[in-house]
Amino acid sequence: MSLQRTPLSRRQWLTTSGLLAGGTVLAPDALRAAVPEAPHVVDGVSTPAGLAAHEAEVRASRANGMVRLASNENPYGMGPAAKQAIMGGWAEHNRYGNASPNELRAVYAKSIGVPTECVLVVAGSSETLSIAALGYGLQGGELVTPWPTYEGLPRYAETLGARVHKVPLKADFTHDLEAMDRRITQRTSLVFVCNPNNPTGTLTDNARLRSFVESVQKDTMVVADEAYHDFVEDPGYRPMVDMVLGGANLIISRTASKIHGLAGLRTGYVIARPDIIERLTPLVTSFPSVFGARGAIASVQDTAYQAYCRKQNAEGRAIMTKALKGLGYQVTDSHTNFVFFDSKRPTPLMQQRFEQRGWLVGRAFPPYNTWVRISVGTPEEMTKLAGELPEILKA
- Does 156 participate in binding ligand PLP (rule CB under 6 A)? no
Q: How far, in Å, CA of 226 to CA of 254, rounded?
A: 5
One-letter amino acid at 6 equals T
Contact positions with ligand PLP (CB under 6 A) in 165-224: 194, 198
**Are the C-beta atoms of residues 381 and 62 closer than 8 Å to each other?**
yes
**Are the C-beta atoms of residues 260 and 250 closer than 8 Å to each other?**
no
With CB under 6 A as the contact rule, which of the stretches 60-68, 255-263, 309-317, 383-391 interacts with ligand PLP?
255-263
Q: Which residues contact 50 (CB under 8 A, 6 or more apart)?
A: 38, 39, 40, 41, 79, 80, 81
Q: Which is nearer to ligand PLP, 194 or 386 (CB)?
A: 194
With CB under 6 A as the contact rule, which of the stretches 6-14, 123-131, 154-162, 271-279 interacts with ligand PLP?
123-131
Q: How far, in Å, CA of 122 to CA of 105, rounded?
A: 10
63-82 footprint of ligand PLP as x/- string (CB under 6 A):
---------x----------
Q: Which of 118, 263, 265, 374 binds ligand PLP (CB under 6 A)?
A: 263
C-alpha neighbours within 13 Å on the C-beta side of residue 107: 19
Q: How far, in Å, CA of 262 to CA of 292, rounded?
A: 7
**Are the C-beta atoms of residues 187 and 216 closer than 8 Å to each other?**
no
* Burial of 166 per CB tally in 10 Å (0-12, 13-18, 19+): middle
- Does 101 participate in binding ligand PLP (rule CB under 6 A)? no
- Does 227 participate in binding ligand PLP (rule CB under 6 A)? yes
Q: Which is nearer to ligand PLP, 41 or 195 (CB)?
A: 195
**Are the C-beta atoms of residues 19 and 26 closer than 8 Å to each other?**
yes
Q: Which of 50, 124, 135, 239 binds ligand PLP (CB under 6 A)?
A: 124
With CB under 6 A as the contact rule, which of the stretches 124-132, 295-303, 316-324, 357-365 interacts with ligand PLP?
124-132
Q: Which is nearer to ligand PLP, 98 or 198 (CB)?
A: 198
**Nearest-approach distance from CB 209 to ligand PLP, in angstroms:** 15
Q: What are phi and psi of 83, to 5 degrees?
A: -60, -45
Contact positions with ligand PLP (CB under 6 A) in 316-355: none
**Nearest-approach distance from CB 198 to ligand PLP, in angstroms:** 4
* Phi-psi label, residue 73: left if phi above 0, alpha if psi -120 to 50, beta otherwise: beta
* Burial of 5 per CB tally in 10 Å (0-12, 13-18, 19+): exposed
Q: Which is nearer to ligand PLP, 136 or 323 (CB)?
A: 136
Q: How far, in Å, CA of 31 to CA of 78, rounded?
A: 27
Q: Which is nearer to ligand PLP, 150 or 291 (CB)?
A: 150
How many residues bind ligand PLP (CB under 6 A)? The answer is 14
**Nearest-approach distance from CB 323 to ligand PLP, in angstroms:** 23
Q: Helix, strand or coil for residue 271?
A: strand
Q: How far, in Å, CA of 138 to CA of 389, rounded?
A: 43
Q: Which is nearer to ligand PLP, 156 or 389 (CB)?
A: 156
- Does 268 participate in binding ligand PLP (rule CB under 6 A)? yes
Q: Which is nearer to ligand PLP, 258 or 273 (CB)?
A: 258
- Does 299 participate in binding ligand PLP (rule CB under 6 A)? no
With CB under 6 A as the contact rule, which of the stretches 119-127, 182-190, 211-219, 316-324 interacts with ligand PLP?
119-127
* Interface with ligand PLP (CB under 6 A): 72, 124-126, 150, 152, 194, 198, 225, 227, 255, 257, 263, 268
